[in-house]
Amino acid sequence: MRFMFIVTSAHAGPPPPALLEAMHKLADREIKAGRMLDNGGLMPLATGAQVRIKGGQLSVVDGPFVEAKEVIGGYAVFELQGKEEALASATEFMRLHKELFPGWEGTCELRAFAPGGP
């Protein structure tokens, strides 16, 4: 089963070097174990933009977005046996944050890909 992990947080600013290093090692291990297919960190929302539809109208809004509270910081795509494995994996990832980024709060959301492609 393929999963996407999406990490969101209200916390702005880069993670401490120790966490970055630990996350790199974890990603390296997961890639070598054949579980992680893809991953990436995202630039702050302020540098992004949104294309919206509201009331039948298309509009483009540049960042920053004052109303945005939780922001997606990164994602990863995994091929895993099932939800239990996804949970175990996400827990390990978040445990790194707990240990190496005191005070940080956030969410790692795991979502299974819909079967049979787009």
Which residues are at the interface with other proteins (CB under 8 A)?
A: 22, 25-26, 29, 31-35, 37-38, 77, 79, 81-82, 84-85, 87-89, 92, 95-96, 99, 115-118
Nearest distance in Å: CB 56, other proteins: 28
Give whichever of 13 and 115 is closer to other proteins, judged by the CB atom: 115
Written as six digits, the tokens of 102 are: 């005191």
Q: Which one, 38 or 62, has the nearer CB to other proteins?
A: 38
Q: How many CA atoms lie within 13 A of 34 on its CB side?
A: 1
Q: What is the CA radius of gyration of the chain?
A: 16
Pairing of strands 49-54, 2-9: unpaired
